[in-house]
Each structure stands twice: as C-alpha cells, then as structure tokens.
Structure 1
Amino acid sequence: MPLIEQISQCELERLVVDRVVPALQDRGFFYTDHFLSEPAGELVLDRVMEMHHSGMLQDGRLAAGTGRAGSVTRVHSRKIRGDQMAWVSGAERNNEPIRFLLALMDKLIRLSLDRLGNRGIRERSQAMVACYPGHGTGYVKHVDNPNSDGRCITCVYYLNKNWNAKEHGGVLRIFPEGQGYVVDIEPLFDRLLLFWSDRRNPHEVQPCYATRYAITVWYFDSEERAAAKRRFRDLAASTQEEGSSTS
C-alpha cells in the first residue's frame, strides 16, 4: 500500500481542526512531532543524506529580488547564512520519499486553508533540501517574505535523530511580532513546523555544531505572487530602458 494511504483523511482532519488552525490563528505558528512516522521519516533522511554526501547540495544564497518567471535571484553570503541546499520537485529519480512528504504537506495545508477561509494559496515552491554542516553555521534573524513576494506559509520538516540542542545548537528561534517573548523550536527528527512567512514571524537558525538537515517549502498567495512578478517585469523593463538611454 502506498505510504500516503497509511495516513487517513480523518487523522489529518483531526490534527487540522484541533491543533493546526487554532495555533495559526492564535500564535502564528504550529509544530507537531511524529508527522510521517519513524520508518517513513528514515526513508526521507536516507535520501537527504545521500544527496548531501554525493555533493548535490550547494552553498545557500540570499534572496536579492524576483527573477525571471517569478523565481528568486540570489546573492551569496556565508556570514548571514551557512547552509548548503538543493531544490527538488520530488518527481526526480530516487526522490519518492520526498515526493511522499510533499504530498502529505500539501494535504495538510489544503485542509487547513479550507478552515482558515484563505483560498488564495494554490501553489507552492519546490522543496529546499538544506544542510547546516556544523562548525557554528546558522542563519541570522530574518523574515522569509518582508516585501510581499507571495510566500504565505513556511513549512519545515526536520530530520535530525538524537538531536541535543544544548550540545548541538541549531534551534530555530521565532520572534513573534509585537510579543515580549521568543519561541525556540528544536530541529528534532520527524518534526513538522508551520508559520506565517511575513513580518509576523522574524526568525533565526542559531549556530549548529552538528550536521542539521531540514526540508522547507513555501506556499504562495497567488495574487500576491502575480503582483510580485509584475513588479519585477516592470523594474526589469525600466532598468533595460535606462541602460539603453545611457549607451
């Protein structure tokens, strides 16, 4: 039986109604453990480790604007983020475990949005497979979507067995907007984290002292994303015109 069929619709709906929706409404973030189950999570971890050890992961880059077809152009800075990453769709050869994970994420988000009344989210990014290789690498405090680029929900799945935050670091710290407290999320194996991608949730990855794996996807508000693409096209056309006039 396909893995996706082992997690019933009723179980997902119960999780959404009882925990996901109330948490997103009240706090702006939600996390849960044992999302896939240990056997399925181990298959995802094995694939991510294979990608890492085969050299498929490249140094992470910082968003510098919106690129062709609405993609994100990036600039490199190891001082701000120290991860290595690769983008995958799940449809690639040998990526069946990641495809399963993405399918379950999609179902969870779809059920949640139906109950939140937000039906504008109809697409998502590819999966960003990321590794912080230790040695104090991290990612400074930032907002995923500070400039209305379309990203609405950030969804992170962690893959780190026997993780000890006191020894290994690597905590994701959220600074909820307007609140006098922080929230620390340890990157534990088979843990799923969701949060609003905009300025409500500045966050950082604290320095890692062991290899730390995660898979992240972003769910897009279609209208906001389309507007961001139009802004980029207008900016690119204006820049091209200015270049032509000075040549």
Structure 2
Amino acid sequence: MPFIEHVSDPDLERLALERVVPALLADGFCSVDGLLGHAAGDAALRHVTELHRAGALQDGRLAGSLPGVHRSRSIRGDQIAWVGGAERGGGDAIGFLLARIDKLVSVCASRLGSKKIRERSKAMVACYPGNGAGYVKHVDNPNRDGRCITCIYYLNKNWSAAHGGVLRIFPHLKRYVVDVEPLFDRLLFFWSDRRNPHEVQPSYANRYAITVWYFDAEERAEAKRRFRDLTASSLQTPSAADDITSL
C-alpha cells in the first residue's frame, strides 16, 4: 500500500490550501484543470491507451461481488487494470501523476477535520468503451471500508457533449446535482462516503480515467479487523472487505 510523501512544491501547496481544502469542506467535491500540463498528460494518455490496446483492461467488478460472479454491463460497463506507477513502458508517467496527487492530498490531510489520511490504493486505470457504457448511481464507500477521498484524473482530449460520459454527483441532502465532464488533464476530488452518490452517464467514445482512493487510517484498520473476524468465522466476505483486498 503506497504511503503519501511530504510536500515541498509551493504551487501544489497553494492549490491545496486555497482551492481543494475549502471546496471539500464546503461542498464535498472539487475539480482542478491543468494538473500535469500537455506533455506529462500526453505521456499518461499514451500509457493508458497502450494498456487498452494490449488487452490489459478487464471488466470491473461490482462492489461486494466475488470472483467468477457475472457482472451486469447494465450496471457497470467499464474495463479496468490496477497499476502501481512503476511499470515498464510508460508507468513512469502514471507514477508522476500519482506523486502530484499525493502531494496535494498530503497538504489537505491535516486540514480535513479528524481524518488521518496516510495511505492510498494503487491506481485504477479505466476505460468506458464508446458503446453507451456507464455506471449506475452508487457510493464508493457505503460500508465504512476506509476509503475517504476519491481522486479521478481524466485523459480525454477533444471531449464534447455528444460523447456523454459525464460524472454526475448527487450531493447528500442537496437539491442540485453536479455534472463533471471527463476533460483531459482534469482532476476531481470528492468524499468517498455516502455524502457523494454519483453515476457515470453513458459514454459514446472511449472514456479514459485513472482513479485512486485515499484511506482514513482508523476506519481502514477497523475494516481490516472486521474482515479478519469474518474470515476466521468462515462467513462470507462483505463488500467493504472485498474492496479493500482488491485494491
């Protein structure tokens, strides 16, 4: 499990303090455009498209599903791969992206109330094929599995309204929705729990994204304890533990 590094980049610190922290505390979500710039963003996009062409992306599982259980494409239509950021053939571009996000989140971590954010998942590379694939309304962490902040980086150049693929957030107890287009070099932050149900609307062009989740240490430790207790008693793994072991 990767650990978050100390921050030294003043621009990232300023971005975190002036935009990301206030938006998360006030609204529960925040988007940032131009995170990497064109050269680094292009490198990440090339690596992701190469993974896709090579057949490295597999159908994503539903939260709580078990290996071998059929997944309905009407619920979730993406294809995914888990990467660490150090793979050969372009993984350094993903590694650079992850380092930037880590630095942002590490500045935010001590300013988000009682959360103790020290670890994150590997990166989930995802493609929604341009065949109307989407993901129905859901919550990333409905059962206290430890995931605290969801970060999604988009890689889609020349994206237009005709391509669909909007991520729609339904903020808890609010009367409005928030639509986020999956535009190239855009990074989206939001709370992973029940405060932010969201959906991916049907995509009519290949829609690429890289997602990482940051964990609250105490909630994650408790989720691991629950998982160990359930495993020891031979009970079926719950969705929260299943998600944690798959990251």
TM-score tier (shorter)? 0.7 to 0.9
**Structure 2 stretches of 5 or more lacking a match?**
1-6, 236-247
Runs of 4+ in 1 over 3 A off after TM superposition: 72-75
Structure with the largest fraction of helix: 1
Instruction: Give 1:124's match in structure 2, choosing from 86, 97, 120.
Output: 120
Cα displacement string for residues 169-192 of structure 1 (whole angstroms, at most 9, x for unaligned residues) = 000000000000000000000000
- Residue in structure 1 matching 2:110, options 114, 129, 154: 114
Offset, 1:112: 1.0
Specify whether residues 73 and 123 from structure 1 end up closer, same or farther in structure 2 by C-alpha distance, changes over 3 A only. farther
SS of residue paired to 2:111? helix
Q: Structure 1: 5+ residue runs without aligned partners?
A: 1-6, 66-71, 241-247
Q: Which amino acid aligns with 1:85?
A: I
Shift in Å, 1:226 = 1.3
Map residues 123-142 of structure 1 onto 2, 5 A cutoff. 123-142=119-138
1:122-152 CA distance string (max 9 Å, x none):
1100000000011110000000000000000
1:162 counterpart residue number:
158
Partner SS state of residue 78, structure 1: coil
- 1:178 aligns to what? 173
1:220 aligned partner, one-letter code: F
Measured after TM superposition, the shift of residue 92 of structure 1 is 1.6
Aligned to 2:79: 84
SS at match of 2:234: helix
Partner of 2:218: 223
Change (3 A) 1:9 1:117: farther
Structure 2 CA distance, aligned partners of 1:205 and 1:173? 6
- Residue 91 of structure 1, CA deviation: 1.6
Please list the CA deviations of residues 199-246 of structure 1 after superposition, one character each: whole Å capped at 9, or x if unmatched: 000000000000000000000111111111111121122236xxxxxx
Aligned CA RMSD, in angstroms, stands at: 1.9
**What is the number of residues matched between the two proteins?**
228
How far did residue 119 of structure 1 move?
5.4
The one of 124, 145, 153 equivalent to 2:141 is 145
Aligned to 2:22: 22
Q: Report the residue type matching 1:145 in the other structure.
A: N
What TM-score does the superposition give when structure 1 sets the normalisation length?
A: 0.88
After TM superposition, give the deviation of residue 117 of structure 1 in Å.
4.5
- Counterpart-to-counterpart distance in 1, 2:183 and 2:114: 29
| Counterpart position of 1:61 | 61
CA radius of gyration, larger in: 1
